[in-house]
Chain A
Amino acid sequence: MRFRAKIVDVACLNHFSRVINTIAKLARTCTLRLTVSKLYFILSDKVANGGVGMWCELNQGNFFDEFQMEGVAAEHNEIYLELMPENLSRALKTAQNAKAVKMKLTNKHCPCLRVAVELPSLSSSSRIVTHDIPVAVIPRRLWSDFREPSVPDFDVSIYLPALKTMKSVVERMRNLSNSIMIEANLSGEMNLKIETDLVCVTTHFKDLGNPSWALEDGCQSSQDRDPESMAEARIDIRKLQQLLAGQQVNPTKALCNIVSKRIVHFILLHEDVSLQYFIPAL
């Protein structure tokens, strides 16, 4: 099992750091899956996570100048590691003016992801700051726990409103209530609602647009549904706030799929990163 990678390009480094910062805000511990072409940050929807699931996918070619990976075995050319993304985020903070960042999987005393940041210096030899991030190797027999979640059989799919507005509203609502109701319909309308003994607040978004999903059999799933009818789910407001607070850059596409009373599935797409986040209904 080997892994070595290097980022030299400043823009790629900043971009990668931003992605890691976002992941760090969403999960305390998560699984990093390495394949020949991609990196995945995965949080499986165990009860321990409050039922929240996360699947973030990056094309390694868009970030790394060098990338070498040899998995556990030839037919299973992948590596699964458990780590705390906050550690990686902190290591990358020192890399803001770096000439290069190298990553390597090592096992000196215990398995670590070694992040070596080469910083500019006045002398001819570079300064190198090394961070050893403890990781746990996840054995192959557990890999099935980390399969890509399938898109749920949703009732409504809708584009999200401007994340900045959604974030302000959810932040305020968080002061007032622990749970929030998200409802949306196929006419591009979404409402965020909180209701307590003291206060009820509802924010109405319109003209959001509904993405069309082509199903395998070629038909669109939602043709029979009354376009005005709302699909709704009550979720933990902190989880929603974490998702919105973690977004450092506006995604190219942001949408959510609602399975009434069961789960809300968020999809945020950037040019080279896709993030899916599942929040179960309370």
Chain B
Amino acid sequence: MPLTAQPAGSAEPYVLSASLDNARHLSSLLRAVHFQDHATCFATDNGLRVTVEDAKCIQANAFIQAEIFQEFAVQEQTVTFRINLSVLLDCLTIFGTSSLPGTSTALKMCYRGYGYPLMLFLEEGGVVTVCKINTEEPEDLLDFDFCNTKVVNKIILQSEGLREAFVELDLTSEVVQITMSPDKPYFRLSTFGNAGSAHLDYSKDSDLMEVFHCNQTQTNRYKISLLKPSAKALSLSCKVSIRTDAQGFLSLQYMIRNEDGQICFVEYYCCPDENITE
């Protein structure tokens, strides 16, 4: 076959091409990490990862595996671009956010590569919306170096147990203190607000506790303002894994089941607050 039969770029002009029958599978996950306007997207054969960071202290990642998509094709090893997440979400939810049974927005996403805008084609009820969102130079992201092999303490809780606690966190407290221990109180969330201290304990024998692997007593504090956005991921999730490493870095991993019962993950990494006394 003569080479000139193909246009210069190759038969497939898009380095990333993906289709989703229900755009909510993507938009609801992105909302769980939407605490900053900008996000960096990474696409590989495995799927899509969207990362949002703030203050060099907190990083959230949403993972949507290739299997969730009806079609997912990546022409390079990794396709990376930075994009305005607020704009992306407004486009993905252009037909509204209410989930009426039986109706969904179909999505096709195409990206030609560096310097090109991200193209979205959304369709609902015969109405088509085309979006062209400018992409930006990806910036360096934090490498939290949260080493999975150096995890000191790990628990997995059913999210419903933690949801109310999170909503009721005393926001007049600057920090939330997390204590994890093989001994009592096992798992404790504490705040120190204007009205006083509040402690919420979860026993290792609680029904909500699925996994309890705590080797060492650790107490760490994290700025509440940084962790508050994770409440959205918590509200969507059915389970959450809470891990800390030797330096007190916190990893929260949320297991989220979408409308079709498929599983996706959102994780938050947070640095401990520097003013720790213990």
Contacts and interface: CB of A to CB of B under 8 A. Distances in A.
Interface in B108-149: 124-134
A204 B90 contact: no
Contacts, number: 59
B84 A206 contact: no
A121 interface: no
Contact of B127 (A165, A173, A199, A201): A165
A164 B124 CA distance: 12
A201 B132 CA distance: 6
- Is the interface on chain B under 10, 10 to 19, 20 to 34, or 35 or more residues? 20 to 34
A200 B131 contact: yes
B53 to A, nearest CB: 20
Contacts of A220: none
Given A165-B125, A176-B87, A202 B94 contact: no
Contacts of A169: 94-95, 129
B94 A203 contact: yes
User: For chain B, what secondary structure do more than half of its interface residues adopt (helix, strand, loop), or is it mixed?
Assistant: mixed
Nearest to B134: A198
A179 to B, nearest CB: 16
A46 interface: no
Contacts of A203: 94, 127-129
Contact of A201 (B94, B96, B124, B134): B94
- Is the interface on chain A under 10, 10 to 19, 20 to 34, or 35 or more residues? 20 to 34
Give the one of A176, A201, A207 with max B CB within 10 A.
A201
B86 interface: yes
B91 interface: yes
A199 B134 contact: yes
A172 B93 contact: yes
Contact of B134 (A173, A197, A204): A197
B131 A204 contact: no
Interface string A192-236: 000001111111111100000000000000000000000000000
B128 A204 contact: yes
A125 interface: no
Contacts of B91: 172, 199, 201
Nearest to B123: A204
A207 B125 CA distance: 12
B175 to A, nearest CB: 33
A73 B12 CA distance: 78
A161 interface: yes
Interface in A143-178: 161-162, 164-165, 168-169, 171-173, 175-176
Contact of A172 (B90, B130, B133, B134): B90
Contacts of A172: 90-91, 93-94
A65 B131 CA distance: 52
A280 to B, nearest CB: 26
A168 B127 CA distance: 12
Contacts of B130: 201-202, 204
Contacts of B133: 198-199
A144 B141 CA distance: 66
A198 B82 CA distance: 12
A85 B79 CA distance: 55
Interface of B: 84, 86-87, 90-91, 93-96, 124-134
Interface of A: 161-162, 164-165, 168-169, 171-173, 175-176, 197-207
16 contacts: A165-B124, A168-B95, A168-B96, A169-B95, A171-B96, A172-B94, A199-B132, A199-B133, A201-B94, A201-B132, A202-B131, A203-B127, A205-B127, A206-B126, A206-B127, A207-B126
Report the 8 A-B pairs with minimum CB-CB distance, sorted nearest first.
Answer: A168-B96, A203-B129, A200-B132, A201-B131, A199-B133, A172-B90, A172-B94, A204-B128
